């Protein structure tokens, strides 16, 4: 028997027994404590910092990775990376606030165009005449006939109900409520008139967050919305690291599936508790997510999605029994999952298109669903092109030295004085700054460009201010002095490397926009609306985004933030089978553009790396507003 | 803890421990020994005779019931009725041959009109182009597109296959065989071309016997047919006693369901072993049975079927997952159960009508499916009436003193000399006579009528012959002297009571015929064909049946024996979805006549008790041939 070692976590006081030689991160996962591991324990994010308070002698020696991520000061204070430190005897560690994934500002709502209510599930009250010698009709036909009079042509009765039907009908005195799915299958029979209790759940499975919506299917009313972090995060921050994890071990796929399903079941429980709705009255769950999340939710190995040519295993919408997925709603109900378009343009993108109605528009619209992957779609009712860009988690704080998610203490807005270069920051919950979230990063870079602290190639410029200084990895800009932070341990800086990360991220999504526009042969003037969707998107300052060149230059009034439209699309499909048909049509109509397959991709990408773009003629308004020295040139493919 | 007592059974040597105070029959059921208990242990069939070989002092005293059923001779030899003798200490008993349900002559085949092959399940071989960057189509759509080219518009993929699809396709090198049900749902994907392995099972669930047919769904060929006794028999011989048993205890319904499902699974195993077909290549099972058998097979409480107004719980055909029923075929396949017409006219009657094509006939046909219940149908393509008659198990040997099933040693044909009254008998397998089966009973009574040993009221006539003698219950006719029997213990006689039993049985089915004919306003001349279906029916001498008046008098050449057409109809539906639709139409078209609800029933029944019928004008030919004194008069309802 392997020796078991005890790891305690403060301040929670949680504990876990693990095998000798496993890491503190392994113990944290087992103890279910909140510890950030953005890279999935691979050692390159440096986020899983913990302070050893007892038993440091029982840990493996410091690794190179730890020396790289932890300052000398932190090393002295007993900091370790949980993914690196192996445990050979009992230890106790403290998890600092900034190593938490944290309670986040979750945007779960999004715009939703109204549609006629047409749910898949209906509940119908009927009173049946009891059988007599003159009318000895079978129980099933008696029920079916009564429902026919109400306009339902039932073809099938769920086997579980079928075997109980005679007793169900008689115990109810022949006055029952039948629950019908798709207008043709009876999935429940209850005594009395309980037709008002007909509910469904829409779920948006984001790589980072889960959002859950409890909807009254009789009225279309949204009764409760709630969200939580995707419990798969400890297994890997982004889609690719989840795919890697799923492939690496025998039961990893099931672990990931269980994590997300448990997370959704938790949200369902929350919604039920708050609304008082009974679980057996939840008849359908409609789910969306990107292709990898979709596959993991259903339990399909996403390995091939992560490997060229990135084909999804399943692109068609599918209907599954709740117990096959593990979802805790009425067992005879259904889980409906929206269709995918491609390996990296999933059901969430379909839902976004449905909710933003790009497919119905006469004018051209550019839709960007910003997330760890940013799906870009361009089109109208005639034609829609879509692509996926690996914008990465930089906008969510990963790979950024003091990056963090949009949680308490995150710097979310920044202004820089043109003369003094002093920043004016605002933080979430007005707390002391402990890091910087996506919208803050975009703001600070846009401001640095505006005031001339950056050139268009993204190089930090030396200026006469203590805010610009030489750091261990080149020049850096100090956003907050350590005295202003809660830990008082380190200055919050933006490093040259941080700016490179953002450049890579924004270049990715911009490349998607440029390539789709070229494919359709249109210029920025023809974009009637630039729609930014996604939880993260809602907080972006559009002006800053335009300065960075994350998006093509269109007038600010044409930029529209729509929030979490993946969730909106899921709700629409929950409430209307016509919307599902529309979603299926969208998924099959959209022309997917595989950027990696295009010869022009490399050139477009390099050009998009510049702020706002190597071709400054694309950004007349931005260029008129910023002081950044123009040091870029347009790359042309050699012919 | 209750005291456990050991009961041993010879010659098997099987043993069972039972609670003090339980009966030998309880022990026999527990030990799974073959012991006839036609009445289900109620004490009125007298068939569960056993000989106590050890521990007779440990049994309860002889009951009145035993004294009634066992001769003084048998009592002296240590005979007891297993259902009466309670056990208070260890005992050993021997089960004589005639107390066995026995290995029976099972008729499982029946006529089957040819139909175009159109099975629900098809297997299609396709070679898919592997995905490339230029063609990164999803796995599911790739498969669906390839199948579309072969003419199948797939809408759905079974969840179990869906989650395995990416690996299945790649491991097979994109060359696979898809199994499609209903032309639209993929239920299996296998590597290589295995499209030739596509099989199904048709099952006829009789109250007495099970018949099973393994069919190649690519060719329609019947590969194997086999049958066995319905393992529910120990719980009750006829439909009503099974229904009673199902209602009496908490888990009785499940016991009965398990018994029949196990029986069917055993037949499937036999068919697989003999043909070499693999279980996962059995995709569909189509079942028929009377309404109670249908309900017990699915696991529906048949209580209400057995109670006025006798409504079935389920009359529509239904599709069930094999594991919901417990049937061991491919899990993603299907169990299809044919529709019922009424509580006592079930899916087997529908199958019979389908196979005999009464519903397509221009001329009127009279169909009788003879069994413990005899379903009578009369009609043509315009109109069909059906009713059920409680003919009972007398024709199968129950309630007949020396009655037995059609097993080895059963007297099946009888001739009686007009002068000497000496019988000429033939037995099954030419063995020594040990009892008399249905066709023998009909023959002997017809012969007794012909030679004048019976009057038309069914009273045995005194004649100058030792064959007619006074027995303990009135006059009896000796069919075989004890020296001629294998046990040499008793003479084989037909008693007055036996004749009464047959009168009741034949009156029941004849009443059905008469009432349906009256309802349609037709006479016997308009019956173009009189079809006798059922395993039992095949062995009946039509002339004898006509003499008894079991059937209306039609010319012998119009009488047709078709065998087990319930099985034929099941096979037809297995091989053709069009036949299923036809079956559903038949079930809904047939007008069920509830005999018990009719005021004329009593009068018709009494008239039908006479041989051949109280109204001798209905039987001119029979009356010209028999010497039976006419002693009956037509009963008229008082007005």
Average pLDDT of the residues in A243-253? 94
Residues of B in contact with A304 (CB under 8 A): 139, 166, 170
In chain B (639 residues long), the average pLDDT of successive 10-residue segments reads 78 81 87 72 81 91 90 85 93 79 62 94 98 94 97 96 96 98 98 97 93 96 88 88 93 96 95 92 98 97 94 97 97 98 96 97 96 92 95 82 84 95 91 90 96 96 95 94 90 95 95 97 97 81 95 95 94 98 97 91 95 95 95 62
Residues A385 and A414 placed together within one structural domain of the fold: no
B135, B138, B580: best to mutate for the A interface, most A CBs within 10 A: B138
- Smallest CA–CA distance from A140 into chain B, residue: B314
What integer pLDDT is reported at residue B638 of this predicted model? 40
Mean pLDDT of A56-71: 91
Q: Is the pLDDT of residue A37 over 90?
A: no
- The helix/strand/coil state of A127 is strand
In this complex, the residue of B142, B163, B299 whose CB is nearest that of residue A298 is B163
Query: What residues of chain A lie within 8 A of the CB of B589, using their CB?
Result: none
With respect to residue B476, please indicate whether it lies within any of the assigned structural domains: yes
| Secondary structure (3-state) at B415 | strand
Residue B332 with chain A: CB contacts under 8 Å: none
The answer on A310 and A277 residing in a single domain is: yes
- Considering the domain boundaries, does residue A358 fall inside one? yes
As a whole number, mean pLDDT of residues A209-216 equals 94
Q: Which of A36, A69, A99 is the last residue of a domain?
A: A99
Comparing A512 with A372, the larger pLDDT belongs to A512
Chain centre distance of CA A594: 21
Q: Which of B313, B343, B589 to mutate to probe the A interface, most A CBs <10 Å?
A: B313
- Min Cα distance B333 → chain A (Å) is 15
Last residue of a domain, one of B145, B168, B191: B191
- The C-alpha of A137 sits at a distance from chain B's nearest C-alpha, in angstroms, of 6
Q: Give the pairing of strands B384-389 and B410-416.
A: unpaired
What pLDDT score does A314 carry? 97
CATH code assigned at B140: 3.10.20.880
pLDDT tens by residue, A173-207? 999 999 999 999 999 999 999 999 999 999 999 98
Give φ, ψ of B324 to 5 degrees.
-65, -30
Which of B140, B166, B309 minimises the CB distance to A136? B309
Q: Do B320 and A135 touch (CB under 8 A)?
A: no
Nearest C-alpha of chain B: how many angstroms from A308? 7
Q: Do A404 and A488 fall within a single domain?
A: yes
CA A599 to chain centre: 30
* Residue A106 lies inside a defined structural domain of this protein: no
Q: How far apart are CA B192 and CA B208, in angstroms?
A: 43
Q: Do B166 and A303 touch (CB under 8 A)?
A: yes
- Does B141 contact A342 at a Cβ distance shorter than 8 Å? no
The answer to whether residues A210 and A337 belong to one domain is yes
**Distance of alpha carbon A513 from alpha carbon B314, whole angstroms:** 59
pLDDT of residue B237: 78
pLDDT for the residue numbered A105 = 52
Q: Which chain B residue has its CA at the smallest distance from A323's CA?
A: B159
Indicate yes or no: CB of B159 within 8 angstroms of CB of A340.
Answer: no
Q: Inspect the interface and report whether the beta carbons of A137 and B311 lie closer than 8 Å.
A: yes
> In terms of CA atoms, which chain A residue is nearest residue B145?
A316
Q: How far apart are CA A549 and CA A528, in angstroms?
A: 18
- Report the alpha-carbon distance of residue B49 to residue B63 in Å, rounded: 13
Are B438 and B579 contained in the same domain?
no
Torsion of CA B125, B131, B137, B142, to 10 degrees: 0
Segments forming the whole domain that contains residue B355: 349-392+523-600+614-625
How far, in Å, are A240, B268, B302 from residue B201 at the CA level?
Answer: 47, 8, 25
Computed on alpha carbons and rounded to an integer, the radius of gyration of chain A in Å comes to 27
Q: Which of B128, B130, B140, B319 to mutate to test the interface with A (most CBs of A within 10 A)?
A: B140
Shortest CB distance from A311 goes to which of B137, B303, B315? Answer: B137
CA distance A447 to A231: 35
Looking at residue A638, what is its pLDDT?
Answer: 40
* Residue A213: partners with Cβ closer than 8 Å, 6 or more residues away: A108, A201, A202, A203, A222, A224, A225, A567, A570, A571, A574
Nearest CA in chain A to B295: A163
CA-to-CA distance for A594 and A599, rounded, in angstroms?
11
Pick the closest to residue A239 from A392, A349, A416, A400 (CA basis).
Answer: A392
Partner residue facing B315 (CB), from A138, A314, A319: A138
The residues that bridge with A216 in the sheet, in sequence order, are A199
The alpha-carbon gap from A314 to the nearest alpha carbon of chain B, in Å, equals 5
Answer whether B313 sits within 8 Å of A165, measured CB to CB: yes
Strand locations in B49-105 (E) = 49-54, 79-81, 91-94
A206/A327 same-domain check: yes
* pLDDT tens readout for residues A375-412: 999 999 999 999 999 888 788 777 899 988 777 788 99
Instruction: Mark whether A569 and A620 lie in a shared domain.
Output: yes
Structure tokens at A494: 């933006």
CA B271 from centre of chain = 20
- Nearest chain B CA: its distance from A398 CA (Å): 30
Q: How many domains does chain B have?
A: 4
Answer whether residue A571 is part of any domain.
yes
Of the residues A136, A145, A341, the best mutation for testing chain B's interface (the one with the most B CB atoms within 10 Å of its CB) is: A136
Domain contains B71: yes
Distance of alpha carbon B504 from alpha carbon B497, whole angstroms: 11
Give A376's strand partners. Answer: A368, A387
Alpha-carbon gap, residue A299 to A313, rounded angstroms: 11
Phi, then psi, of A299 in degrees rounded to 5:
100, 25
Q: For residue B32, give the CATH number of its domain.
A: 3.10.20.30
CB–CB contact B319 A156 (8 Å) = yes
Q: Which residues of B touch A160 (CB under 8 A)?
A: 324
- Within this chain, do residues A181 and A227 fall inside the same structural domain, yes or no? no
Substitution target in A171, A310, A313 with the highest count of B β-carbons within 10 Å is: A313
- Residue ending a domain, choose from A134, A161, A191: A191
Task: Give the gyration radius of chain B's Cα atoms.
Answer: 27
What is the predicted ipTM?
0.82
Same domain, B9 and B71: yes
Burial class of B257 by CB neighbour count within 10 A (0 to 12, 13 to 18, 19+): buried
Q: Is residue B326 part of a domain?
A: no
Within 8 A of B312 by CB-CB distance, chain A residues are 138-140
Average pLDDT, chain A: 92
Tokens of B632: 């009956």
- What single-letter DSSP state applies at residue A12? T
Is A156–B313 a contact, with Cβ atoms under 8 angstroms apart?
Answer: no
CATH of the domain at A597: 3.30.420.40
Task: Chain A: give the shortest CA distance to residue B153, in Å.
Answer: 13
Contact B165/A342, CB-based, under 8 Å?
no
Closest to A203 measured CA to CA, from A266, A284, A300, A285: A285
With respect to residue B9, please indicate whether it lies within any of the assigned structural domains: yes
Residues A513 and A339: their CA atoms lie apart, in Å, by: 23
Among chain A residues, the shortest Cα distance to B158 is held by A320
pLDDT bracket for residue A1 (50, 70, 90): very low
Residue of chain B minimizing CA distance to A134: B597
Which of B634, B631, B638 is closest to B608 using CA atoms?
B634
Place of tokens 């409504």: B311
Report the chain B residue with the minimal C-alpha distance to residue A346: B138
**Among A236, A547, A553, CA closest to A372:** A236
Highest-scoring range by mean pLDDT, A102-116, A573-587, B362-376: A573-587
Which chain B residues have a beta carbon less than 8 Å from that of A314? 138-140, 157, 162, 165
A222/A200 Cα distance (integer angstroms) = 10
CB-based contact B299 A324, cutoff 8 Å: no
Share of chain A above pLDDT 70, in %: 96
* Residue at A162 is within a domain: yes
Give how far B340 is from chain A: nearest CA, Å. 9
Strand-pairing partners, residue B403, are B436
Closest residue on chain B to A137 (Cα): B311
| Whether A139 and B311 lie within 8 Å, measured CB to CB | yes
- Residue A612, pLDDT score: 97
Residue A166 corresponds to which tokens in the numbers above?
A: 């005679």
- From the list A133, A140, A309, the residue facing B597 with the nearest CB is A133
Of A162, A309, A340, the CB nearest to B131: A309
Quick one: A129 and A82 in the same domain? no
Confidence of residue A637 (pLDDT cuts 50, 70, 90): very low
> Are residues A384 and A416 located together in one domain of the fold?
no
Q: What number of other Cβ atoms are within 10 A of residue B255's Cβ?
A: 16
Answer yes or no: do A278 and A151 share one domain: no
């Amino acid at each position: 028997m392997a020796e078991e070692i005890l790891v305690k976590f403060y301040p929670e006081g949680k504990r876990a027994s693990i095998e000798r030689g496993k890491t503190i991160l392994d113990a944290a996962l087992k103890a279910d404590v909140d510890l950030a591991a953005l890279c999935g324990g691979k050692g390159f994010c440096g986020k899983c910092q913990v302070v050893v308070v007892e038993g440091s002698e029982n840990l493996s020696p410091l690794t190179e990775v730890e020396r790289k991520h932890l300052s000398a000061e932190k090393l002295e204070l007993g900091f370790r990376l949980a993914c690196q430190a192996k445990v050979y005897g009992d230890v106790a560690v403290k998890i600092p606030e900034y190593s938490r994934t944290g309670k986040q500002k979750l945007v779960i709502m999004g715009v939703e165009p109204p549609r006629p209510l047409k749910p898949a599930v209906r509940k119908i009250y009927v009173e049946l005449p009891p059988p007599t010698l003159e009318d000895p009709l079978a129980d099933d036909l008696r029920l079916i006939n009564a429902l026919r009079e109400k306009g339902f042509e039932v073809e099938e009765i769920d086997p579980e109900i079928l075997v109980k039907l005679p007793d169900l009908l008689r115990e109810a005195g022949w006055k029952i409520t039948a629950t019908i799915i798709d207008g043709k299958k009876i999935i429940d029979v209850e005594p009395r008139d309980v037709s008002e209790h007909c509910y469904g759940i829409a779920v948006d499975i984001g790589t980072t967050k889960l959002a859950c919506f409890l909807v009254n299917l009789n009225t279309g009313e949204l009764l409760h919305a709630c969200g939580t972090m995707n419990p798969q995060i400890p297994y890997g921050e982004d889609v690719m690291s989840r795919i890697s994890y799923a492939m690496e071990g025998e039961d990893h796929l099931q672990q990931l599936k269980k994590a997300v399903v448990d997370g959704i079941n938790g949200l369902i429980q929350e919604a039920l508790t708050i609304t008082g709705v009974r679980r057996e009255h939840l008849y359908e769950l409609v789910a969306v997510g990107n292709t990898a999340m979709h596959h993991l939710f259903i339990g399909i190995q996403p390995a091939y999605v992560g490997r060229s040519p990135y084909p999804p295993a399943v692109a068609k919408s599918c209907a599954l029994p709740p117990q096959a997925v593990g979802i805790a709603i009425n067992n005879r109900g259904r889980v409906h999952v929206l269709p995918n378009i491609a390996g990296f343009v999933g059901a969430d993108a379909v839902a976004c298109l449905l909710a933003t109605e790009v497919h119905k528009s006469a004018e051209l619209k550019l839709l960007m669903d910003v997330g760890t992957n940013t799906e870009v779609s361009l089109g109208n009712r005639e034609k829609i092109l879509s692509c996926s860009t690996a914008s990465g988690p930089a906008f969510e704080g990963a790979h950024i030295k003091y990056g963090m998610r949009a949680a308490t203490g995150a710097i979310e807005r920044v202004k820089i004085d043109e003369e003094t270069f002093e920043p004016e920051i605002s933080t979430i919950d007005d707390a002391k700054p402990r890091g910087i979230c996506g919208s803050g990063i975009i703001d600070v870079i846009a401001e640095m460009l505006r005031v001339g602290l950056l050139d268009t190639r993204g190089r930090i410029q030396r200026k006469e201010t203590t805010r610009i200084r030489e750091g261990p990895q080149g020049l850096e800009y100090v956003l907050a002095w350590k005295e202003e932070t809660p830990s008082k341990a380190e200055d919050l800086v933006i490093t040259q490397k941080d700016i490179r990360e953002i450049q890579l991220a924004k270049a990715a999504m911009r490349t998607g926009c440029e390539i789709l526009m070229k494919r359709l042969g249109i210029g920025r003037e023809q974009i009637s609306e630039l729609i930014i969707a996604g939880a993260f998107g809602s907080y972006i300052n559009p002006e800053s985004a335009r300065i960075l060149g994350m998006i093509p230059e269109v007038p600010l009034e044409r930029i529209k933030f729509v929030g979490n439209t993946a969730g909106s699309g899921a709700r629409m499909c929950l409430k209307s089978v016509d919307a599902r048909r529309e979603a299926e049509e969208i998924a099959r109509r959209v022309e997917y553009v595989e950027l990696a397959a295009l010869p022009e991709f490399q050139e477009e990408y390099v050009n998009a790396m510049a702020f706002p773009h190597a071709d400054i003629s694309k950004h007349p308004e931005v260029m008129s507003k910023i002081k950044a020295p123009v040091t870029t040139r347009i790359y042309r493919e050699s012919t």
